[in-house]
């Protein structure tokens, strides 16, 4: 009985996960981008996140 409950939950999770990746691939053409270009948005998101956590880092970004 437990397997009958867990199976649909796991499949449901992966259906959502795969759907999100498909959307990202289609909208942002992530698969077709060169690796260096894909890396830049990731670096930007990382810097933005660190700046939200660290006031000194944020100040250093503003100062440059």
Range with the lowest mean pLDDT among 4-8, 21-25, 42-46, 60-64?
A: 21-25
pLDDT at position 27: 64
Name 57's Cβ contacts closer than 8 Å, sequence gap at least 6. Answer: 50, 51
Q: What are the domain boundaries of the chain?
A: 1-32, 34-64
pLDDT at position 12: 81
For 15-57, the pLDDT digits (tens) are 777 777 766 666 666 556 666 666 777 788 888 888 899 999 8
Q: pLDDT class for 63, splitting at 50, 70, 90?
A: confident
3 state SS of 12: helix
Q: How many CB atoms lie within 10 A of CB 38?
A: 14
């Amino acid at each position: 009985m437990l397997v009958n409950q867990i199976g649909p939950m796991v499949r449901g999770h992966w259906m959502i996960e795969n759907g999100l990746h498909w959307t990202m691939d289609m909208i942002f053409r992530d698969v077709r981008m060169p690796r260096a270009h894909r890396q830049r948005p990731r670096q930007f998101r990382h810097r933005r996140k660190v700046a939200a956590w660290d006031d000194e880092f944020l100040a250093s970004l503003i100062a440059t």
